[in-house]
Structure 1
C-alpha cells in the first residue's frame, strides 16, 4: 500500500464508513512520561484539536504521575486522573468504559504500546468505537480505525481482527498540532548560522551534552545553537555546564510550548526521531536525525529515503561520530542540499494529518 492510502486496498479492511451515531465527545487514553516521552500525548492533542473543530470535546484520561496533564490543560482539554491504573490492564479498560458511560461518549482514542488486542477488544465489546494510534502492527487489531502517520507505515503488515478496520497510514495522517497546520514559506540561507538541537522530552542517554561537545568542532565559532531542554530531562545541570564553556552562542530553551518558531528560525536541526521529524518536515527545516530508540528506526530511515532528512545513525552505536560527522558536514557545507531537504519535507508532510483523521473519525462515528 502506498503512503497515505486508506485500508480499502487490503483484504479484510473497510472500504466504506461505519454506521452513523451521535458522538458528543471523544475520550483519549494515552501514555506520557519520562520513560515514554511526549510523542504520544502530542499527537493525541493534535487529534483532539482537530476533533474540537467539529464540535466534539476531547477528554484525556491520564495516569496521576505521567507529568503531561499541564500541557493538555493548557490546550483547553479536561484531564481526568486514573488512580492506580496501568494501561492495557482489565482494570484500566473498566475505568475507561465507566468514563465513557459517565460522559455519554461512544468513541475512545488509545495511544499506548501497552494497549494490545485483548485490551482494545474489551473496549469494543462495551460498544465503544475504538481508534488506535499504533506504530508497530504487533497484533491483529480489533480497532474500528487505526492511525499510523509514519513514513514507513504503508510497509507494515497490519491485520484486522474484526475484519472491518479502517487504516489511515502514512504522512497524510501525521498527527501534528495546530501550529503546524499552516506553515509560511521559507527561504534557505546560503550558510548555517543557527542550529536547533532537540532530542525529545527526556534524555536518558545524555545525548544533548554529547551533541553540544561534538558540534563545537563542526560548526564555526559564534554559530547560534538553540538547545531544547525537555520537561523530563534529568541532566539539565550538565547541559548548562557544557553550554557555559562552549565557543558557540548557545541558548538553552526549557520545555518550549511552541517549537514551530524555533524551527522556522533555524538553518539546520539535529534531532532524535519521532514526532519532531515530521514537524521539521512540514516547516521545511533541513534536519539530521538519529533513531534514539529502536522504534524510531524505520520511520527515520523512511524519511531519509524520501529525501526529507539526512540519517545520522544511532546514539548507542560506538561509531556514531563517524556516521553523524559526514551527515552534519553534508548539511552544513551545501546549501543546495539543504534546499532539497526542505522541499522534500514540505512535499511529504503538509500538516493536515490530524484534520484528515478527525474527518474520518467523525464520518465513521
Structure 2
C-alpha cells in the first residue's frame, strides 16, 4: 500500500495545510505504510527536514498526476488551489481518495471528504452515493506531540505569553501587536513563533524590547513545549487553535483569512470566545489588549482550561486513517 499526499503552503498560502497533512503522514508512516508527501510551494518557505519522502513540486498538472499516480495508490488531497478538474483526475487514477475540506469549496468526485473542524453544521455537502463524510470535532487533526497532553497547572499570575499568527503571518500583524503589548506589560515574557515563510522578521526585531523571544521554524514538540510554558496565547484562527485546545492554553484568536470563519463560529458555539477579532480592524491592537486584560484573570483562564479538556481527544488523525485504510 502506498499513499500520496498532495498539499500546498508558503508565504501567501500559510502553513496550516502542511501542518495537518504532516500529522496524517506521521500516522501512516507509523503503521509501516509507504507515504510520499508532495507539496506545492517554494523550497525556501517550507521546512521539509522532518519528512523522509517529500517533494516540493507544483503538482497542479494533469500530465504529472496521470503519470505519477498508479491505480493501486491511495491519495490524500488538502488544497485551496486545485480546481475540480484536478480532483477528477486524482479520483479517476487512484484506488481510493481522501479530500480534506473546510467549507465545501468544490463539488468533490468519488472519495472520502473530511472536514475536521469544530463547526460543520453550516457547511452544506451534497448527498451522493460516491461520497462519504467525516465531519466535526472527532476528526480534528493534531500533530503527534500534542496527543494526550495535560497542562500541569494554571498560574495565578500571567508570566509568559505566546504569539503565533500563522507560519507566514500573511497580514503582518505581529509587529503591531508586539508594540501594543510589550510596552504595556514589560514584566511579561513574549514568545513569538514564526515560520520559514515569514517575511516580517525585520518588523519584529526592530521592536528591540528585552521581553521578546523569537523562535524560527520550531518543530511540533518544540511548539508544544512553548505552549505549555505559556499562560496564554494570541493566535491566528487556523490549525493552531486545535493544538492550543489540546495543550489547554487559553488563547485569543484573530481571524486572518475568510476560510477561518467556521473555526470562529465553532469557538463561539462552544462559548470559548465572545468577541470576534479581525485582522483588518483598525482597532485590532486595542481590542487585542482588551481581550488580553480579561485573560489576566486566573478565574477566566481556569474556566477555559476546563472547557478545552473536553473538546479535542487527539484521536482524529487515527480515525481518519482507519477509515481510509478500510478495504473498498
Q: TM-score, normalised on structure 1? A: 0.83
Find the counterpart in structure 1 of residue 240 from structure 2.
276
Find the counterpart in structure 2 of residue 98 from structure 1.
67
Are residues 27 and 67 of structure 1, via their aligned partners in 2, closer, same or farther at CA, if it must alter by over 3 Å?
Answer: farther
How far apart are 1:167 and its partner, in Å?
Answer: 1.0
Q: Distance in 1 between matches of 2:121 and 2:184?
A: 37
How far apart are 1:77 and its partner, in Å?
Answer: 3.1
Q: Larger deviation: 319-328 or 201-210?
A: 319-328
Find the counterpart in structure 1 of residue 171 from structure 2.
205
Q: Do residues 77 (structure 1) and 52 (structure 2) align?
A: yes
- Paired residue secondary structure (1:347): coil
- Paired residue secondary structure (1:271): strand
Over residues 155-176 of structure 1, what are the superposed CA-to-partner deviations in whole Å (9 max), with x where a residue is unaligned?
A: 210125x523121112211111
Q: Distance in 2 between matches of 1:180 and 1:359?
A: 19
Are residues 46 and 241 of structure 1, via their aligned partners in 2, closer, same or farther at CA, if it must alter by over 3 Å?
Answer: same
Match for residue 4 of structure 2 among 16, 20, 27:
27
Find the counterpart in structure 2 of residue 7 from structure 1.
none
Q: Distance in 2 between matches of 1:183 and 1:249?
A: 27
Q: How does 1:208-287 map to 2 (within 5 A)?
A: 208-216=174-182, 218-219=184-185, 221-242=186-207, 244=208, 246=209, 249-258=211-220, 259-287=223-251
Match for residue 265 of structure 2 among 286, 295, 301:
301
Q: Is the 8 A contact 1:110 1:131 kept in 2?
A: yes
CA RMSD of aligned residues (A): 2.1
Q: Distance in 1 between matches of 2:284 and 2:56?
A: 41
Over residues 138-183 of structure 1, what are the superposed CA-to-partner deviations in whole Å (9 max), with x where a residue is unaligned?
A: 32221411111111223210125x5231211122111111111221
Q: Distance in 2 between matches of 1:325 and 1:222?
A: 15
Match for residue 308 of structure 2 among 328, 345, 348:
345
Find the counterpart in structure 2 of residue 59 from structure 1.
36
How far apart are 1:231 and its partner, in Å?
Answer: 1.1
Q: TM-score, normalised on structure 2? A: 0.92
Are residues 64 and 317 of structure 1, via their aligned partners in 2, closer, same or farther at CA, if it must alter by over 3 Å?
Answer: closer
Q: Is the 8 A contact 1:26 1:105 kept in 2?
A: no
Q: Is the 8 A contact 2:38 2:59 kept in 1?
A: no
Q: Distance in 2 between matches of 1:347 and 1:64?
A: 36
Q: What number of residue pairs does the alignment pair up? A: 326
Are residues 144 and 68 of structure 1, via their aligned partners in 2, closer, same or farther at CA, if it must alter by over 3 Å?
Answer: farther
Q: Distance in 2 between matches of 1:309 and 1:253?
A: 27
After superposing on structure 2, the runs of 4+ consecutive aligned residues of structure 1 that deviate more than 3 Å are 66-70, 307-312
Find the counterpart in structure 2 of residue 10 from structure 1.
none
